[in-house]
Amino acid sequence: MSDTVLSVSRLSVSFGVKSAATKTVAKVVDGISFELNAGEVLGLVGESGCGKSITAAALMGLLPSPPALMVAEHILLGDKDLSALDESGLRQVRGSEISMIFQEPLTALDPVFKIGSQLSAVIRRHQGKDRKNAFTTAVEMLGRVGIADAARIMKSYPHQLSGGMRQRVMIAMAMACRPRVLLADEPTTALDVTTQAQVLARLADLGRDSDTAILLITHDLGVVAQACDRALVMYCGRIVEQAPVAELFANPAHPYTAGLLAAVPHVSREGVRPVCAIPGSVPHPAALPAGCHFADRCDRADNQCRAHVPRLQSLEESEIAQPHRHACFHPLPKAAM
């Protein structure tokens, strides 16, 4: 694979949580490290509340810093260390070099202006085009995210679009910035399967054509299967498994990954199949169990799991360029082939 564009080392984020008497600290992201390569689509999966959006906000430097406290060894974007930049330095990097699609499209679009003017403004700023060229590029970008009547959408206000259209406009906007790194937070949750497939394909094209590295945040393993090259599985602020996608689906090593896989609902001609959700729910970050955070929900848990924190380690067999790593004392055996 090609070179690393973003390298994150030991990133932690904590929040002060005030309760009646005491002030505790909730560690929402706990020392995660990963690398993102040019042109790659890296999935970040996990249940909601496990710290995915916070990770993205931390990378963008958008965490509100009184309540949140961020520490990192480094966050290298090219040769810049984002964790050492101040607000004005970050502002220069944001948008042009690292850009983000937010989870909630309605708040991110300005209701006062037409889609066309918002989108062309972004294109003019980031691609240095004049008004007229920016307009044609905007129409073209909308077409690329599968909006058929781009001319009408350009003249519409955000509230006149359907939910899925708004989300695709946001995607077009982020793509128009041509960033080196794109953080996409649940970009397709509001989309139906066909549109989702199309948008994911366009995102992947974007990665390939302009060598943009994409961190695709999602709770949907179907999306990971469809769009990602590699995936990180996150639970309670830690990365618990990391592998190329094909390997991850074929041989999940961590019980949490296996649980997520089993919980994916299927459409089948034979009729309804019961969903097997992982029992229990994500613990609150201020009250995490010691040792392995998954222990309360894991059927393989033993005393070792409750006492010690499992570290990320490579599966022995995979001594390839992109290792399969997991953080579990009792990983699942490799599936029989």
Shortest distance in whole angstroms from residue 244 CB to ligand ADP: 22
Q: Is 167 in the site for ligand ADP (CB under 6 A)?
A: no
* Interface pattern 14-43 for ligand ADP (x via CB under 6 A): -x----------x-x---------------
Shortest distance in whole angstroms from residue 16 CB to ligand ATP: 38
Q: Are strands 41-45 and 325-326 parallel, antiparallel or unpaired?
A: unpaired
Here the tokens at position 288 are: 């995490």
Element (H, E) at 40: none
Closest CA to 225 of 206, 207, 247: 247
Q: Which residue type occupies 169?
A: V
Those residues with Cβ within 8 angstroms of residue 230's Cβ, 6 or more apart along the chain or in another chain: 40, 41, 42, 43, 242, 243, 244, 245, 322
Q: Which of residues 137-176 bind Mg ion (CB under 5 A)?
A: 162-163
Q: Binding partner of residue 61 among Mg ion, ligand ADP, ligand ATP, none, CB under 5 to 8 Å per kind? A: none
| C-alpha 187, offset from chain centre | 9
How many residues line the site for ligand SF4 (CB under 6 A)?
Answer: 13
Using the contact rule CB under 6 A, the part of the chain among 13-21, 29-37, 44-52, 325-333 near ligand SF4 is 325-333
Element (H, E) at 215: strand 213-218
Closest CA to 44 of 187, 176, 179, 146: 187
Of 255, 258, 288, 324, the residue at the interface with ligand SF4 (CB under 6 A) is 255
Q: Is 267 in the site for another protein (CB under 8 A)?
A: yes
10 Å CB burial of residue 9 (0-12, 13-18, 19+) is middle
Contact 242, 231 (CB under 8 A): yes
Shortest distance in whole angstroms from residue 79 CB to another protein: 26
Q: Is 192 in the site for Mg ion (CB under 5 A)?
A: no
Shortest distance in whole angstroms from residue 157 CB to ligand ATP: 8
Instruction: List residues binding ligand SF4 (CB under 6 A).
Output: 254-255, 292, 294-295, 298, 300-301, 305, 310, 328-330
Residues lying near ligand ADP in the complex (CB under 6 A) are found at 15, 26, 28, 46, 48-54, 67, 285
